[in-house]
A and B are shown apart, each in its own frame.
Chain A
Amino acid sequence: DAGVTQSPTHLIKTRGQHVTLRCSPISGHKSVSWYQQVLGQGPQFIFQYYEKEERGRGNFPDRFSARQFPNYSSELNVNALLLGDSALYLCASSLMIRQGGFEKLFFGSGTQLSVL
């Protein structure tokens, strides 16, 4: 079975541009989360979607937005890119979410975004 797939794998943008990152979860998984990993740091939570609804949002500016489609794939959009947005963006899927949330996450290999 295919794991979590993300596209593109690498992306170079300039300041002020907009970017869209895509994620396809493992088949049957209904929850998708997005994380930002800056070099030398642990991943930081950006969003979580479940059944096409936003279920959680991290401490990121409104320039960051996301959505989940009926097939459970997801897009992360970042507007007005800043140099500091340069990072590895990770998508993770899980089968479902439950109160307490102890399902393990399955991560994709990420999209490396460089903002020049």
Chain B
Amino acid sequence: AQSVAQPEDQVNVAEGNPLTVKCTYSVSGNPYLFWYVQYPNRGLQFLLKYITGDNLVKGSYGFEAEFNKSQTSFHLKKPSALVSDSALYFCAVRDPSNQGGKLIFGQGTELSVKP
């Protein structure tokens, strides 16, 4: 069965420091991987996706993610964190057996960036 794990419930970073939010996946076949962000009282917003190609994917708001097939990981990164990056981050994998919108989400990681 397809699954996604986010091993950290919370990540604390000082503003200006690099940040990493971890994600590992288990999927049969080629993985389609996504990162979404959720701000309080808001829906999820797309950050980036990996389908194929370059293992380093660049996305919105300066975020990037590195796909590592051997470690089955897709960690989200940003070189310099902003206070406004504080939010709930979800890693997700597309269920390859489903043709369209079924995403399998991790449990989420709360990112807190302090001034």
Contacts and interface: CB of A to CB of B under 8 A. Distances in A.
B98 A90 contact: no
Given A90-B44, A108-B43, A102 B104 contact: no
Interface string B34-65: 10100001111110010100000000000000
Given A55-B99, A98-B99, A43 B46 contact: no
Contacts of B44: 43, 90, 92, 105, 107
Given A42-B107, A42-B108, A101 B42 contact: no
Contact of A48 (B45, B46, B100, B104): B100
21 contacts: A4-B43, A31-B100, A32-B101, A41-B108, A42-B4, A42-B92, A42-B105, A42-B106, A44-B105, A48-B100, A50-B100, A55-B98, A55-B101, A56-B98, A90-B44, A102-B51, A103-B100, A107-B44, A107-B45, A109-B41, A109-B43
Q: Identify the 3 closest CB pairs spanning chains A and B, nearest first.
A: A97-B100, A42-B105, A107-B43
A8 interface: no
B2 to A, nearest CB: 11
A104 interface: yes
Contacts of B41: 109
Contacts of A73: none
Interface in A28-54: 31-33, 35, 40-45, 48, 50
